[in-house]
Amino acid sequence: MLARSIDRLLIANRAEIAHRIIRSASLKGIETVCLYSDADAQLPYVSAADRAVRLCGNSPVETYLDIDKVIEAAKKTNCDGIHPGYGFLSENAGFARRCIENGLVFVGPSPDAIETMGSKLASKELARLHSVPTLESLELEKSSFGEAKSFAEKIGYPVLIKASAGGGGRGMRIVEREDELKEATQSARREAQSAFGDGTVFIEKYLIAPRHIEIQIAADLYGDTVHLYERECSIQRRHQKIIEESPSPFLARFPQLRDEMGSSAIACAKAVAYSGVGTVEFVVDEKGNFYFLEMNTRLQVEHPVTEAVTGLDLVEIQLDIAQGDHIEDIVGTAFQHGHAIEARLYAENPDDNWLPQSGKLYKLEIPSSSQFSSTYGVRVDAGFESGNEVSTHYDSMIAKVISQGKNRSEATKMLCKSLRSSEINGLTTNRDLLIAILESNDFVEGQTDTGFLLRNTPETLFSASKNPNAIGICAIAGAMARQAKNRESAIAFAQTRSGWRNSYSIPQSVDFGSDDRVISIKYQQMRSGFEIVNLDELGFSSCQVLSCSSSSVTLEIEGITYRVSVQFHENGVYTNSTIGSFGFVELPKFPWLEDEQHPGSLISPMPGSVVRIGVSVGDHIEAGTTLLVLEAMKMEHSVEAPISGRIAEILVGVGDQVEASQLLVELEEDS
Amino acid sequence: MVKLANKVNTNSETYQANYKAMVAMIDQLDNELKVAREGGGEKYVQRHKARGKLLARERIELLIDADSPFLELCPLAGWGTSFTVGASLIFGLGVIENTICVISANDPTVKGGASNPYTMRKAHRAADIARENRLPQVSLVESGGADLPNQAEIFIPGGRMFRDLTQLSAEGIPTISLVFGNSTAGGAYIPGMSDYIVMVKERAKVFLGGPPLVKMATGEESDDEELGGAEMHARVSGLCDYMANDELDCIRLGRQIVKRLNLNRPLGWRAISDKSARGYGAIPVIGPMVSRGISYQDPIFSEEDLLGIASADAKIPYDPREVLARILDGSDFDEFKPLYGTSLVTGWGSIYGYPIGVLANHRGILFSEEAEKASQFIQLANQVDTPLIFLQNTTGYMVGKEYEQGGIIKDGAKMINAVSNSRVPHLTINIGSSYGAGNYGMCGKAFNPRFLFAWPNAKSSVMGSAQLAGVLSIVSRQAAEAQGREFDEEADREMKALVEAQIESESTALFITGRLYDDGIIDPRDTRTVLGMCLEVVYSTGISGTRGYGVYRM
């Protein structure tokens, strides 16, 4: 492979990672060209790049996954290198080949290495050949379900069905019992086919609550390979990592494993003549036995954790390797320094089965130290900024927040503080859950196996971590800021005291909706200041409004002072404080009668596209029957019948794009 | 720019005694207001609610902008009479979609919202305020019509309500009726004469004669809905412009209508012009802009002090500058003619940025000098189109040989002439007493101030009760002497006590406000707030003082 200098780099990716690559490339004096779909035109990475090429359309297939369009963009802008980031085309050997054929430096390993490691089965086989421990598995033919059944019996339930071409938890199903095997296999295959264009799945033993520990490696074009220590990424939801850290708390108990796993990872890389940075993933059982899981032939989402503890810039290393530098010159001897933790901030609702959220991000402010600092601090890699729209077309990750402290406990506290002080208005996020995880006993004690979130459900985590008074305090602050805003915008009697009466009768009131709750705040401004009339109902014994504007409210509740910042957008009221952040919807004083839904109306829980419809008009169905399946953000969601009845009307068809809260099906309840 | 100085000693015995007395009077006022708010009482309130209806005050609260103020006017109408305090009608100044409106609502918990003589006078006052200040009038209607046993007092003069509505309309002042329930017989003309009518489905009943009357008159069988339901009026008769699904929808529609009157423009002009003053069309006014555009300072001294400044004993006058120091912007007061006629304080200042002239009694008595000073000052205010505020605390014009011979009647006549023919808006507050012709010279009710309020300690009568009883006593003694009969001292003492008590009770603020001789009693601490709201209202009409002769030097 011939290396050469990269002068202008095309970044075949989007959002956070595109921005990340632009930063390192720019520091090295490399010009950057980025790509953007219609939906991404306003994202900050587009203006951060030196040039930007628009890819018409929105779906990944017609934009970031369209090899022809990407190559054409690189040629058109005279690029000489392509960085694929993660996801999309990053592990597509065909794409790497096309880059090389077109004289472009592909920042990544050789197409052959990608191909071999891209197959879960082939890579496993190779690992086994090089004495790296693996879990026994079997590829499943489409036809022979019996084969799967007998293999599952042999290795024992639970088993895991996995897409061979997969990643990120897509095309993956845990099967607890035999009767679930068939449906799981089919849906995994379907998901794999739609996500990766390859429906091959295999079955293997499912380890209950193992650790997920991965080794970062870097290899130059000349075969020199080093490892840059581990990351533990065991805390996952839907098989996607949400918290990653280095060093691994588990390896603290088994220090010799670090070397063993490191050597195994290097062996895997060497087996495919790997070049560039890559990650070898292992599952580790509680006794310290580790098994090769897969090798990711790209930069990982969680790479900043390694950057923090080693002080290295992995993107810079990628670019150096691609340009032919020797690993000993660019890495030298790496050490682990302090402790780093990354939290992935997603637009999703942990209380509602992690349902992805989309919509406008009115405000995004996450406190950070200066980026890429070698000293301890907090780093934020965000794909969005205030005012951006999180669309349904792509992954709903908003930002990564990475803390590095002297030790694990310090890093945890720093990360919590940053997350807690963040102002994220407009979308429901997993922020509170991330904080709850970081503060949970299991996390503090390092019990971070993959069963973490099954053991610690969002419900139990929240009940332990959330200040139960926080929502009431924020609602009062929201009501106070709202009245200040009303008075600030008043034209008539603008100078008069808020809600003044010469004969006080009925207090002012506002109703805030929060999830399924309605919080009413009733108040009156008397000569001595504001009185919250229904304080009892809110569960407080005293409340004084110390200061109040439309953007900031200071309350003294039961002797403690709270400062809450407030933002308004349309009918949304967004409150942020150190005790918690809540978004409320101001309920209309005059509801439209037409807005009330018929009880049998089924509305979409989120925006997405209709993948399947399982029923027809006139069908009689039982409560719980799956009526149709929506796909959004690469996840399938079933819409089930809440009641038994007859299908009166189906208002959508397969392939239709639907909005959140759009009416999908009308059911007539059995009388 | 002269800052008033504070000379009040809040630790003095007088201050403490005044304070205590005033707090007691405010407590009494609050109690009376509470009674008024309770309307027809718990039983009728519950019955009304059980029908799924909103109370009149709830309707108003929903109608006005969130967190906006509401100045209720004549809340104690009917106090001291046999009628329920409040007179089954609530009205005041409120803000709907950033538009100041006169809002009135029948209280159906009081005899089904039926009108008694005080209700009628209150309704007339509401119409006067709408007309004089060019404010849209919004009526929340649910009334059984005239209180029949009292029809003699209502029927003939009551027609004015309908004439007022259509005259307002003719003057370019929109009128809106939101009909929540009964509005029958004569009452049907309240919506009938309005520019916009909203009726609540299955609730509004607007007809001249109900089913029994129709049956008696023509033998026709009919029901309420056919004769006067919202559905019928919206689809068939066309009397109803908007049919509301329910009460909330009705209020929403009311807000929508006011919004589309396009009177809420923030650019400093209003489409409702005062034809008589400045001709028709868009006229520049400073009303809403002053409070938003021009900065002002709060008074330096606390309005709380007003409670101890106002004399508990009406016989003891006090310095009105102490009051002005607590209601004027920045406690700034530029006094006019400070060395002449010192029993009356005149001068210039502003409240919430609105420029004003002030006339305030100092030592109670008006002499010739005070009368002439007032006449000159009123003319000056007219010359520069500046509203006047009268702070009444007067025992009247001076009597006695010296003063009669000095022409006190001529000088008093000048002052009453000036007040009567002044065209700038007048706002009057009785902060102590208002006796005799002093009440007239200081712009009492008969002189049509745009708004008139009283503090709880205020007294109004032809003279003080003791003086009045004394006068009667002297007159009857003289009569006895003339007739040569013996004067019964015992009977005289009894008569004096009786008369004094009667006059005393008839001169209190509560008695006066119950008769609708003012627009309400206010807490002294609300004086600046109330004046600020009234000034915004009077300023938005455009102001044009009396012209003609030059200002007479007196």
User: Does residue B105 carry a pLDDT above 50?
Assistant: yes
Residues B428 and B390: beta-carbon distance below 8 Å: yes
**pLDDT tier at A179, thresholds 50, 70, 90:** confident
Which tops the pLDDT comparison, A463 or B440? Answer: B440
DSSP E strand stretches across A55-111:
81-83, 105-106
Closest CA to A670 of A596, A613, A599: A599
Closest CA to A292 of A122, A170, A87: A122
pLDDT single digits (tens) A346-373: 999 998 888 889 999 999 999 988 654 5
Closest CA to B138 of B170, B172, B173, B109: B173
Distance from the Cα of B535 to chain A's closest Cα (Å) equals 10
Tokens of B222: 């009919």
**pLDDT tier at B465, thresholds 50, 70, 90:** confident
Q: What is the mean pLDDT of chain B?
A: 91
Cα A311 to chain centroid distance, Å, stands at 25
- Assess B97–A contact: CB distance below 8 Å, yes or no: no
User: Does residue B4 carry a pLDDT above 50?
Assistant: yes
Query: Residue A497: its chain B contacts at CB < 8 A?
Result: 69, 529
Q: Which residues lie below 8 Å from residue B422, measured CB to CB, with a gap of 6+?
A: B378, B379, B381, B382, B388, B545, B546
Look at the block and give the residue holding tokens 């012009």.
B273
Q: Do A505 and B62 touch (CB under 8 A)?
A: no
Q: Which residue of B has its CA nearest to A483?
A: B67
- Assess B245–A contact: CB distance below 8 Å, yes or no: yes
User: Does residue B280 carry a pLDDT above 50?
Assistant: no
Output phi, psi for B289, to 5 deg: -75, -30
Separation CA A580–CA A221 (nearest Å): 50
Q: Which residues lie below 8 Å from residue A258, measured CB to CB, with a gap of 6+?
A: A229, A230, A247, A251
**pLDDT tier at B20, thresholds 50, 70, 90:** very high
Distance from the Cα of B252 to chain A's closest Cα (Å) equals 6
User: What share of chain B has pLDDT > 90, as a percent?
Assistant: 76
- The pLDDT, as a whole number, for residue B282 is 37
pLDDT single digits (tens) A461-488: 888 777 889 999 999 999 999 999 999 9
- Assess B33–A contact: CB distance below 8 Å, yes or no: yes
**Which residues face A214 on adjacent strands?**
A231, A281
- Assess A590–B contact: CB distance below 8 Å, yes or no: yes
Which tops the pLDDT comparison, B95 or A171? Answer: B95
Q: Do A503 and B37 touch (CB under 8 A)?
A: yes
Taking the CA atoms of B214, B216, B219 and B221 in sequence, report the sign of the dihedral they define.
positive
Query: Residue A506: its chain B contacts at CB < 8 A?
Result: 57-58, 61
Query: Residue A522: its chain B contacts at CB < 8 A?
Result: none
**pLDDT tier at B56, thresholds 50, 70, 90:** very high
DSSP E strand stretches across B305-408:
334-336, 344-351, 354-361, 365-366, 388-394, 396-397
Mean pLDDT lowest for which of A140-154, A497-511, B371-385? A140-154
Q: Most A CBs within 10 Å: which of B30, B68, B134, as the mutation test of the A interface?
A: B68
Question: Among residues 325-354 of chain B, which lie with CB inside 8 Å of chain A?
Answer: 352-353
Q: Which residues lie below 8 Å from residue A417, measured CB to CB, with a gap of 6+?
A: A367
Query: Residue B35: its chain A contacts at CB < 8 A?
Result: none
- The pLDDT, as a whole number, for residue A208 is 81
pLDDT single digits (tens) B254-270: 999 999 998 875 444 44
Q: Could you give the angle at which helices A93-101 and A67-76 cross, rounded to 10 degrees? A: 30
Nearest CB among B33, B292, B526 relative to A491 is that of B292
Mean pLDDT lowest for which of A60-69, A601-610, B244-253? A601-610
Q: Do B266 and A497 touch (CB under 8 A)?
A: no
- The pLDDT, as a whole number, for residue A90 is 94
Q: Do B67 and A483 touch (CB under 8 A)?
A: yes
Q: Most B CBs within 10 Å: which of A485, A487, A489, A491, as the mutation test of the B interface?
A: A491
Catalytic residues of A: 298
Which tops the pLDDT comparison, B264 or B394? Answer: B394
Distance from the Cα of A468 to chain B's closest Cα (Å) equals 29
**pLDDT tier at B74, thresholds 50, 70, 90:** very high
- The pLDDT, as a whole number, for residue A72 is 96
Q: What is the mean pLDDT of chain A?
A: 90
Nearest CB among A483, A491, A505 relative to B37 is that of A505
Quick count: other Cβ atoms within 10 Å of Cβ A76?
A: 12
- The pLDDT, as a whole number, for residue A167 is 64
**pLDDT tier at A634, thresholds 50, 70, 90:** low
- Assess B249–A contact: CB distance below 8 Å, yes or no: yes
| Cβ-based contacts under 8 A for chains A and B | 96
Distance from the Cα of B126 to chain A's closest Cα (Å) equals 17
Closest CA to A193 of A215, A166, A214: A166
User: Does residue A213 carry a pLDDT above 90?
Assistant: yes
Asked if the peptide bond before residue A158 counts as cis, ω within 30 degrees of 0, the response is yes
Instruction: Identify residue B5 by its one-letter amino acid code.
Output: A
- Please compute the mean of the pLDDT values over residues B434-438 and round it to a whole number: 93
- The pLDDT, as a whole number, for residue B61 is 97
pLDDT single digits (tens) A528-559: 999 999 999 999 999 999 999 999 999 999 99
pLDDT single digits (tens) A108-167: 999 999 999 988 888 999 999 999 999 888 888 765 678 888 888 888 888 988 888 766
Nearest CB among B72, B249, B533 relative to A493 is that of B533
Tokens of A513: 């909706």
pLDDT single digits (tens) B175-204: 999 999 999 887 888 999 999 999 999 999
Nearest CB among B66, B71, B99 relative to A508 is that of B66
Query: Residue B33: its chain A contacts at CB < 8 A?
Result: 503
- C-alpha triplet A598, A603, A604: angle, nearest 5°: 175
Sheet of strand A159-163: strand arrangement: A137-140, A201-205, A159-163, A172-175
Taking the CA atoms of A193, A198, A199 and A203 in sequence, report the sign of the dihedral they define.
negative
- Assess B57–A contact: CB distance below 8 Å, yes or no: yes
pLDDT single digits (tens) B288-313: 444 445 678 999 999 999 999 999 88
**pLDDT tier at B287, thresholds 50, 70, 90:** very low
- The pLDDT, as a whole number, for residue A465 is 76
- Assess A498–B contact: CB distance below 8 Å, yes or no: yes
Q: Do B248 and A591 touch (CB under 8 A)?
A: yes
User: Does residue B222 carry a pLDDT above 50?
Assistant: yes
User: Does residue B348 carry a pLDDT above 80?
Assistant: yes
Residue B208, SS3 per DSSP: coil
Task: Select the highest-mean-pLDDT range: A280-294, A633-647, B274-288.
Answer: A280-294
Q: Which residues lie below 8 Å from residue A129, measured CB to CB, with a gap of 6+?
A: A271
Residue B549, SS3 per DSSP: coil
H or E stretch at B548: none
- The pLDDT, as a whole number, for residue B270 is 42
- The pLDDT, as a whole number, for residue A594 is 57
Separation CA B49–CA A473 (nearest Å): 32
Separation CA A484–CA B298 (nearest Å): 19
Q: Do B61 and A505 touch (CB under 8 A)?
A: yes
Q: Which residue of B has its CA nearest to A488?
A: B292
- Assess B31–A contact: CB distance below 8 Å, yes or no: no
- Please compute the mean of the pLDDT values over residues A413-427 and round it to a whole number: 94
User: What share of chain B has pLDDT > 70, as a percent?
Assistant: 94
Q: Most B CBs within 10 Å: which of A485, A495, A573, A593, as the mutation test of the B interface?
A: A495
Distance from the Cα of A544 to chain B's closest Cα (Å) equals 18
Separation CA B217–CA B213 (nearest Å): 6
- Assess B264–A contact: CB distance below 8 Å, yes or no: yes
Look at the block and give the residue holding tokens 């070397």.
A259
Alpha-carbon distances of B281 from B100, B271, B277, rounded to whole Å: 19, 6, 12
- The pLDDT, as a whole number, for residue A168 is 62
Residues B123 and B163: beta-carbon distance below 8 Å: no
pLDDT single digits (tens) A276-332: 999 999 999 988 999 999 999 999 999 999 999 999 999 999 999 999 999 999 998
